[in-house]
Structure 1
C-alpha cells in the first residue's frame, strides 16, 4: 500500500515511494540548483548596486531580472523541492495558493525581463545613434514595471480566483485535488492563456528580435569587411569576423538556453487538457525544474558574458569591495 501524506485522513494524497537514496540524490541536485541560482544572481545584484560605473539604464534591467531570479530561488524553489521529492505539501492550503501564485509570477517575470533585454539589445546593435535617446531610464522603468506588474496580476488573479481550473472543476476536485497536494492545474482556456502570456508572446518577441539582430549585425560586419579589404586592413577584417562569430554564438546560447529550459514545461501545460489530462502531475512538476534552471543560467548568459562583470566578480570574491572608494573602480573604459 502506498504511504499517505497524512495518515489520519483518507482523502489525502499519496506520499513518494522513492527510496532514501533516490530522495537524497534529488535533494542534493535541487539544493545545488537553488544555491547556484541564489549565489549567481546575488553577485549580479551586488555588482550593479555597488559599482557606480554599472549604474546604467540597461544594467538596471539586468539588476531587476537578477532580483526576480534571486527571489524565485529564495521564496519558491525550496518549497517546490520538498513537493517534488516527497509528492506532498506540508505547508497549508493558503500558502499553497501563495506559493503557486508567486511561482507563476516570478517565472513569468523572468521571461518578460528576457524579452525586454532582447529589445534593449536590438536598439543597441541596430540603432546605436538613437539608442541613448530611446532606451533611457524612463523607458527602462516602464519595462521593469510591466515585467513585474503584468505577471503579478495574471498569477495571483488566476490562482486566488480559481480561474486556472475553470471549465474543468469536476475533474479537478475528483481526480486532482487532495489533502496534502499542491499542484497547479490548468483547464483548456486558462492553459492556453498561460502559455500565450508567460511563454509564447515574450518568447516570440525574443526570437524575432534576435533574428533581426543577427541579420543586421551580419550585414554590418560584411560592410566593415568590404571597407577593410578595400583599404588593406587584414587584421581588422579578422577581428570583425571574430566579433561576428562571437555575436552568433551569444545569440545562439541565449535562445537555446531559454527554449531548452521552458519549452517542455509550457507545452505540457497547454497540451495536457487537450490530451484528457493524461500527463502525470509529477511530470509537470519535474519539468518546472527545467524552467527554474533558466534562472540559474541567466547570470552566466546575460551578466558574466561581459568582461566588466568578471572584473566586478573578482573584486567581490577577493574582498576588495570593502576597500575605500571601491565603488568607483573602473571596470571598463568609457
Structure 2
C-alpha cells in the first residue's frame, strides 16, 4: 500500500485533505467506486470553500447519474410508454388499413404508408432505448448499438419529416397541375419518389458512421488510469494520490472523463459541420418547403371554392337548365357523356367534370332521368357531379316495354340511337329574394369549406412546427450552448430538462401524424372501425 501524506503539492488546491484522513469511507475498487470517491473529494472541496462546516464522517454519493427521483421515474415511464403505444398502434392501423382495404390502396396513400412506416419504426426501435437512457442517465447497451441507434434515430426522424414534405408536394401538384400530374403519377414514379426520400434521409444519417464526428484524444486519461494497477493502490488511496499530484483543473478534467467512461452517453455527433448539415437537411429546408406549399394550397383551395360559387351563379342566371335528361346505354357512361357536354357548353373547368363520386355503375340498361335545381348530375348508380344536372327519380324504360306501354318519342329515339338527349328550357325567372337566398346559401357553404381547409392546414403545420422546432433550435445551438453540467464555466448552457422536453416533443409528432392525416378521411375512419371491431 502507498503511504500518502495529506499535503498539497500544488497551490491550485483549496482544500486540506488531511481532514479526510480520519473519516470512514468505503468505496469499491472499481471504476464506479473511483468515480464516486473523486466526486466526493470535489464535493468536499466545494463544501470547504463555501463554509467552515466540518464534513460528516460518512457522505452519501449517488451511485447512478440519473437526475430523477423514484417518483419522477414512475411518472415519466407511464407517460413515455403511453406515447409509444399511441405511436405503434396508430401507425400500425394506418398500414393495415392501406394494405387490406381496396378503397385505400390508391397511389396517393402510398405516401401516407411510407410516413406511417417511418413513425412505426421510430416507436419500435428507437424510443424504448432513448427512454432507458433518459431514466438511467447513461447508455448501457454498448458502443456498437449506440452508433447504430444514433444513425437510425436520425434516419427515421428525417424520413418522417421528408415524407410529410412529400405529402405536401403531392397535394400541391394535385391542385395546381391536376390533369398533367395525375396522368404522370404512376406506380413506378411514386415508388421512385418514396425511394428518393429514404435515400436523402440515409445520406444525412450515415456520415457519423463513416467518421464525421468528434473523437477527443483520451490517451492521457488511459495513461493515468493505468497507474492504479501499477501502484497496487486502493480506490481511496489512488484518489488521494490524484488529488495531491494534479492541479485543480487537471483533477476536474479527469473526473469528467472518468464519468463519461463509466456512464457513457449515446448522442448524435456534435461536430459543428455535421450539426449544420443535418439540421438544414432534416428540418429547416423541408419545413420551409412545407410552409410555402401549404400557403399555396390554401390560396388555391380558397380560389377554387369561390370560383365554383361564381360559376354556379352565372350558370343559373344565364344558361338555363335542362328540363329532362334522357340517358341511353350504361347509366354511368351516359352520365359522364352528358356531364362533359354540359360542362363544355357552360365553359366549366375540366377538373370539375372529372370529380365523380359514388359507387360503381349499376347494371341497369336505359334510364329516364329528370333534373332538379342545383345543376349537378347523379345517376341511379350513385354518381354525382356538381356542374351537370341533378337526377332525381330515374325510371326504367324497359319497365314500360314489359308492361306493353307506349314509349314517348324521346325514349324511342334513345333506343334507336343509343345516345343521350337533352331538352333545354330557359332559366326560370325568380324574384330578388329567391336569388339572394340561393347566393347566401352558396356563400355559407363556401365559408364552411374555407374554414375546414384552414383548420386542417393549421393542424398539419401547427403540430409539425410545435413538435420539431424547439428541438432543432437547441440542436443547432448545441455546440455553442451545451447542456449544463456541474462545474460548467461557459457563458451559455441549456438546462438538461429543457433539452429532454424538446427531445421528446419531437418524438410526439410520430403519434400525431396518424391522427392528423387520417382522422379527416371518412374511408380511413371506417377502415379503423372495421379493423378494431374484428
- What's the TM-score, normalizing by structure 2? 0.55
What residue number does 1:329 align with? none
Q: Of 467, 472, 477, which residue of structure 2 is paired with 1:261?
A: 467
Does residue 192 (structure 1) correspond to residue 276 (structure 2)? The answer is yes
Does residue 224 (structure 1) correspond to residue 249 (structure 2)? The answer is no
Does residue 313 (structure 1) correspond to residue 528 (structure 2)? The answer is yes
Does residue 120 (structure 1) correspond to residue 170 (structure 2)? The answer is yes
Equivalence map 1:22-33=2 (5 Å): 22-33=72-83
* Deviation (angstroms), 1:286: 3.6
- Return the alpha-carbon distance in structure 2 between the equivalents of residues 244 and 164 of structure 1: 48
Give yes or no for contact 1:164–1:185 (8 Å, CA) kept in 2. Answer: yes
- Return the alpha-carbon distance in structure 1 between the equivalents of residues 295 and 185 of structure 2: 20
Give yes or no for contact 1:224–1:237 (8 Å, CA) kept in 2. Answer: no
Give yes or no for contact 1:34–1:77 (8 Å, CA) kept in 2. Answer: yes
What residue number does 1:331 align with? none
What residue number does 1:7 align with? 32
The 1:98/1:179 distance shift into structure 2, 3 A limit, reads farther
- Return the alpha-carbon distance in structure 1 between the equivalents of residues 217 and 300 of structure 2: 52
* Deviation (angstroms), 1:178: 3.7
Greater shift in the superposed pair: 206-215 or 132-141: 132-141
Give yes or no for contact 2:272–2:479 (8 Å, CA) kept in 1. Answer: yes
- Return the alpha-carbon distance in structure 2 between the equivalents of residues 269 and 179 of structure 1: 25
The 1:188/1:7 distance shift into structure 2, 3 A limit, reads same
* Deviation (angstroms), 1:289: 0.9
Choose between structure 1 and 2: higher helix proportion: 1
- For residue 182 of structure 1, give the secondary structure of its aligned residue in structure 2: coil
Give yes or no for contact 1:84–1:286 (8 Å, CA) kept in 2. Answer: no
Give yes or no for contact 1:164–1:191 (8 Å, CA) kept in 2. Answer: no
* Deviation (angstroms), 1:280: 4.7
- Return the alpha-carbon distance in structure 2 between the equivalents of residues 36 and 276 of structure 1: 31
What residue number does 1:183 align with? 267
Unaligned segments of structure 2, at least 5 residues: 1-30, 40-62, 222-252, 317-434, 484-492
Greater shift in the superposed pair: 184-193 or 302-311: 184-193
Give yes or no for contact 2:214–2:271 (8 Å, CA) kept in 1. Answer: yes
* Deviation (angstroms), 1:195: 1.0
- Return the alpha-carbon distance in structure 2 between the equivalents of residues 79 and 297 of structure 1: 21
- Return the alpha-carbon distance in structure 2 between the equivalents of residues 77 and 157 of structure 1: 22
Q: Of 83, 86, 95, which residue of structure 2 is paired with 1:45?
A: 95
Give yes or no for contact 1:188–1:274 (8 Å, CA) kept in 2. Answer: no
- Return the alpha-carbon distance in structure 2 between the equivalents of residues 203 and 34 of structure 1: 24
What residue number does 1:85 align with? 135
Give yes or no for contact 1:41–1:69 (8 Å, CA) kept in 2. Answer: yes
The 1:51/1:287 distance shift into structure 2, 3 A limit, reads same
Give yes or no for contact 2:64–2:136 (8 Å, CA) kept in 1. Answer: no
What residue number does 2:288 align with? 204
- Return the alpha-carbon distance in structure 1 between the equivalents of residues 211 and 501 of structure 2: 23
What residue number does 2:116 align with? 66
* Deviation (angstroms), 1:149: 1.8
- What's the TM-score, normalizing by structure 1? 0.85
Choose between structure 1 and 2: higher strand proportion: 2
- What RMSD over aligned residues (CA atoms) do the two structures have, in Å? 2.5
Greater shift in the superposed pair: 274-283 or 179-188: 274-283
The 1:129/1:87 distance shift into structure 2, 3 A limit, reads same
Give yes or no for contact 1:225–1:237 (8 Å, CA) kept in 2. Answer: yes
What residue number does 1:163 align with? 212
Greater shift in the superposed pair: 97-106 or 234-243: 234-243
Q: Of 75, 95, 106, which residue of structure 1 is paired with 2:156?
A: 106
Higher relative contact order (CA 8 A, sep 6+): 1
